[in-house]
Amino acid sequence: MNYSHDELISREDRLSLNLVNRRKIVIDRGEGSKLWDIDGKEYIDCIGGWGVANIGHSNEKIIDAINIQTKKLITCPSNLYNKVRSELMEKLVCITPEPLTRVFLCNSGTESVEAAIKFTTLTTGKSEFIAAIKGFHGRTLGSLNLTHNKKYKDDFRELLLHNKVNFVPFNSIERIKSVITDDTAGIILEIIQGEGGVNVGSTDFFKEVREICDDNDIILIIDEVQTGFCRTGKMFAIEHHDIVPDILCLAKSIAGGLPMGAVIVNDRIDVSIGKHGTTFGGNPLVCAAAIATIDFLEKQNLAVITQEKGNYFINQLRIELKYISIVRKIKGMGLMIGIELNRPVKPYVDMMMNNGLLTIPTGLTVIRLLPPLVISYLEIDKIVKIIKLVLNNK
């Protein structure tokens, strides 16, 4: 049966729980950094699957890897050994800094944070955490404790931990020092706060946090769910600051669009059988996709290329939007970019969409851009042109 654009929208609106603001377009297919709706209208995709589509939509290498693995084996629980799974773990250990040597595979970003919380508590025997104001770490009941924004938490207050998480301003080392107690188990931070508005942390801050953790027997958890896999111009954003956490949380783009999360830990982390687990985590199908994704990132040199493209993109935005009075700031690293306005961004995001550009409103006043890293310079120029046109339309 052929449904029209409007019929598909009303069917999905009728059937799905009302949990997200949907844009009124029905996406049918994607390739590289482009998406098409069911009527064939083309969009440049700076939503990038909310930071999932780093290697581009429908990447041939992922399609091949999935096709081959599907015919061989799709599921294999973690109590049985599997070659593809161990190959991925070896790759993850290889591309992360040296003290990170062991891996737990799961299915999403929030699951990676849930695991990090449990591993931290198991290791230290302590239960308090320090997290950053405007930080985002997921929406399930463990990770939600560490997410700052009240709008995600207020309705669940009775289900959350009380007095166990101290929120401090991002980049404020003094405030971290002031809230440490004998029961502080872990500090969790993003390197660049994504949901919080593309806020970039400083090298001094991260280095001092690492020292504080070492001096106080505190586990440092870095959440690179959004910044990982070349998004910021390095394989992992920790490399910008030359720090290594005790636990690194990964997800989003790790498996070329398939659902996967991963936690990579150092030897401090001490857990034992039965303390955590997952049914789907580490299944060979998704592992094969992740191996192909990492191969693609490495062979295409996407860390370096993203840094170059990101510098160009941010520079062009700064030049072209310089005289637009509603633009407050252009921020970001690599291809994780925020445009902060002095007013709500929603109408501008809608206008961009009508002009063939998909972007993410973040908070009230930031437009976030997370394009696939395979985006071309021509497309970047086109995006800057659309953004300029729309923001000039006050």
Residues contacting residue 392 through CB under 8 Å, at least 6 positions apart: 324
Q: How far apart are CA 152 and CA 144, in angstroms?
A: 8
In the range 268-307, which residues lie near ligand PLP by CB under 6 A? none
Q: Looking at 69-77, 84-92, 221-229, 379-387, which segment touches ligand PLP (CB under 6 A)?
A: 221-229
**Which of residues 226, 253, 362, 365 is near ligand PLP by CB under 6 A?**
226
Provide the minimum distance between the beta carbon of 258 and ligand PLP in the complex, in angstroms, as a whole number.
12
In the block, residue with structure tokens 């669009």: 257
Using a 10 angstrom Cβ sphere, with 0-12 exposed, 13-18 middle and 19 or more buried, the burial of residue 72 is exposed
Both tokens of 388, joined, read 């300029």
Considering the rule CB under 6 A, would residue 56 count as an interface residue with ligand PLP? Answer: no
Considering the rule CB under 6 A, would residue 110 count as an interface residue with ligand PLP? Answer: yes
Considering the rule CB under 6 A, would residue 114 count as an interface residue with ligand PLP? Answer: no
Both tokens of 258, joined, read 């398939």
What residue is closest to ligand PLP based on CB? 109
Nearer to ligand PLP, 152 or 312 (CB): 152
Considering the rule CB under 6 A, would residue 195 count as an interface residue with ligand PLP? Answer: yes
Which residues on adjacent β-strands are paired with residue 130? 166, 187
Nearer to ligand PLP, 106 or 390 (CB): 106
Considering the rule CB under 6 A, would residue 145 count as an interface residue with ligand PLP? Answer: no
296 within 8 A of 61, measured Cβ to Cβ: yes
In the range 251-270, which residues lie near ligand PLP by CB under 6 A? 251
The 336-341 sheet, strands edge to edge: 327-333, 336-341, 366-369, 360-362
Provide the minimum distance between the beta carbon of 149 and ligand PLP in the complex, in angstroms, as a whole number.
12
57 within 8 A of 32, measured Cβ to Cβ: yes
Nearer to ligand PLP, 260 or 386 (CB): 260
Residues contacting residue 390 through CB under 8 Å, at least 6 positions apart: 348, 351, 352, 355
Nearer to ligand PLP, 137 or 210 (CB): 137
Nearer to ligand PLP, 14 or 151 (CB): 151
Q: How far apart are CA 192 and CA 310, in angstroms?
A: 14
- The site for ligand PLP, by CB under 6 A, has a size of 15
Provide the minimum distance between the beta carbon of 354 and ligand PLP in the complex, in angstroms, as a whole number.
26
In the range 164-193, which residues lie near ligand PLP by CB under 6 A? 190
Provide the minimum distance between the beta carbon of 38 and ligand PLP in the complex, in angstroms, as a whole number.
26
Considering the rule CB under 6 A, would residue 340 count as an interface residue with ligand PLP? Answer: no
Nearer to ligand PLP, 115 or 386 (CB): 115
Q: Looking at 58-66, 103-111, 287-295, 365-373, which segment touches ligand PLP (CB under 6 A)?
A: 103-111
**Which of residues 48, 142, 194, 228 is near ligand PLP by CB under 6 A?**
194
Residues contacting residue 51 through CB under 8 Å, at least 6 positions apart: 194, 226, 231, 252, 253, 336, 370
Alpha-carbon torsion 379, 381, 382, 387, what sign? positive
Using a 10 angstrom Cβ sphere, with 0-12 exposed, 13-18 middle and 19 or more buried, the burial of residue 301 is exposed
Nearer to ligand PLP, 193 or 307 (CB): 193
Q: Looking at 16-24, 126-134, 223-231, 238-246, which segment touches ligand PLP (CB under 6 A)?
A: 223-231
Provide the minimum distance between the beta carbon of 198 and ligand PLP in the complex, in angstroms, as a whole number.
11
End-to-end CA distance of the chain: 43
Q: What is the largest CA-CA distance in the chain?
A: 65
Nearer to ligand PLP, 130 or 327 (CB): 130
Q: How far apart are CA 246 and CA 254, in angstroms?
A: 20
Considering the rule CB under 6 A, would residue 223 count as an interface residue with ligand PLP? Answer: yes
Nearer to ligand PLP, 82 or 140 (CB): 140
The kind and range of the H/E element at 349 are: helix 346-354
Q: How far apart are CA 290 and CA 143, in angstroms?
A: 24
| Positions that interact with ligand PLP (CB under 6 A) | 50, 108-110, 113, 136-138, 190, 194-195, 223, 225-226, 251
